[in-house]
């Protein structure tokens, strides 16, 4: 049984939205505690998570909020399972669920060696992370299993980045996310791809306010700022934040925005490059280099 604040943290739906939905769609239907405050049963929280997940994919709340939970997961899976899943991915997922930590770590390392860093990120880590996220929403993955997954992959990626990192040359790229966006895996994936291209990376971790991004870009003479937005990040904040940053940042510095959230932005933002897939990272670097007279 969770309070409205706890549900906000758990689902990413703001208190205002939770109350508004209740008024407007008659769902969720929380009970009340002895002092008249909303208390959400676990099933409703699970369903809310599923709804949020679908909204992140572009569904609209009014259309799906009435559906029962199994239809919601059907909607979620129908899309994903259509892209045939690599047998390797399934196998790795099973290792986490069986809590075979050393085997899991070793398997990751093995795939990294076999595929090389670039293919490892694009063909293994990215789909694996999506699969883990979906399994978590369906309740097939415990919270701690997802944490453990994230931690292990982070370790492997950071390790690979350190090994692949050489002298590096322009462009100089600053990597970070806006406040409230805590997901680091996306940033690490991009950093890995950039390091492969021989780019100089300045990783700031997550949650840097716009003003600080500007100061950092200045101090480190960055040529571009790369921002990551997970699916859970609210669209509005993304576009307003990007506009704000564009206004603050000198025009000479490019902005690259990527992640599931910006993928569904309708209109492009002036002066911001939207990166819809990890493939484009390499092209972006190439474009920057050729337009700045580099081989």
133 binds, among a copy of itself, DNA, none (CB under 5 to 8 A by kind): none
Please check whether residue 64 is in contact with residue 72, taking contact to mean a CB–CB distance below 8 angstroms: yes
Per rule CB under 7 A, is residue 14 in the interface with DNA? yes
- Among the listed residues 24, 26, 99, 169, the single contact to DNA using CB under 7 A: 24
Going by C-beta distance under 8 Å and a sequence separation of 6 or more, which residues neighbour residue 88? Answer: 111, 124
C-beta closer to DNA: residue 236 or 251: 236
CB count in 10 Å sphere of residue 175:
24
268 binds, among DNA, a copy of itself, none (CB under 5 to 8 A by kind): none
Per rule CB under 7 A, is residue 57 in the interface with DNA? no
C-beta closer to DNA: residue 7 or 199: 7
213 binds, among a copy of itself, DNA, none (CB under 5 to 8 A by kind): a copy of itself
What ranges in the chain are assigned the alpha helix state H?
4-11, 15-25, 42-56, 61-64, 69-82, 87-97, 101-115, 117-119, 126-137, 143-164, 185-196, 210-219, 235-248, 260-263, 280-291
Cβ at position 24, least distance to a copy of itself in Å? 20
114 binds, among a copy of itself, DNA, none (CB under 5 to 8 A by kind): none
**Integer Cα distance of 102 and 97 in angstroms:** 13
Binding positions for a copy of itself, rule: CB under 8 A: 5-6, 9-10, 12, 99, 101, 142-145, 147-148, 150-151, 154-155, 158-159, 161-162, 176, 178-180, 182, 202-205, 208-210, 212-213, 215-216, 219-220, 237, 240-241, 244
Coil, helix or strand at residue 175: strand
Phi and psi torsions of 139, nearest 5°: 80, 10
Cβ at position 209, least distance to a copy of itself in Å? 5
Strands 38-39 and 31-32: what pairing?
A: antiparallel
Per rule CB under 7 A, is residue 177 in the interface with DNA? no
Cα distances (Å, whole numbers) of residue 90 to 75, 84, 95, 284: 20, 11, 9, 32
* Binding residues vs DNA (CB under 7 A): 3-6, 8, 14-17, 19-21, 23-24, 35-38, 55, 60-63, 234-237, 239-240, 264, 266-267
């Amino acid at each position: 049984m969770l309070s409205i604040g706890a549900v906000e943290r758990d689902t990413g739906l703001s208190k205002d939205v939770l109350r508004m939905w209740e008024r407007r769609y008659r769902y969720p239907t929380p009970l009340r505690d002895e002092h008249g405050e909303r208390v959400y049963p676990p099933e409703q929280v699970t369903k809310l998570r599923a709804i949020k997940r679908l909204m992140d994919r572009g569904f609209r709340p009014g259309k799906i909020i009435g559906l029962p939970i199994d239809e919601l997961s059907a909607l979620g899976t129908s899309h994903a399972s259509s892209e045939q899943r690599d047998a390797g991915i399934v196998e790795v997922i099973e290792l986490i669920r069986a809590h075979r930590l050393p085997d899991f770590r070793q398997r990751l390392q093995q795939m990294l060696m076999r595929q090389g860093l670039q293919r490892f990120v694009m063909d293994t880590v990215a789909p694996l992370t999506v699969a883990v996220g979906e399994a978590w929403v369906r309740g097939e993955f415990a919270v701690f299993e997802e944490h453990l997954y994230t931690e292990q992959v982070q370790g492997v990626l950071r390790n690979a980045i350190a090994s692949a990192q050489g002298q590096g040359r322009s462009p100089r790229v600053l990597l970070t996310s806006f406040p409230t966006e805590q997901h680091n895996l996306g940033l690490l994936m991009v950093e890995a791809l950039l390091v492969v291209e021989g780019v100089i990376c300045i990783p700031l971790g997550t949650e840097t306010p716009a003003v600080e991004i500007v100061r950092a870009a200045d101090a480190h003479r960055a040529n571009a700022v790369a921002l990551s937005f997970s699916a859970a990040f609210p669209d509005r904040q993304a576009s307003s934040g990007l506009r704000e940053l564009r206004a603050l940042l000198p025009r000479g510095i490019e902005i690259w925005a990527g992640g599931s959230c910006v993928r569904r932005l309708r209109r492009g933002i002036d002066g911001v490059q939207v990166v819809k897939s990890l493939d484009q990272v390499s092209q972006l670097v190439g474009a920057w280099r050729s337009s700045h007279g580099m081989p």
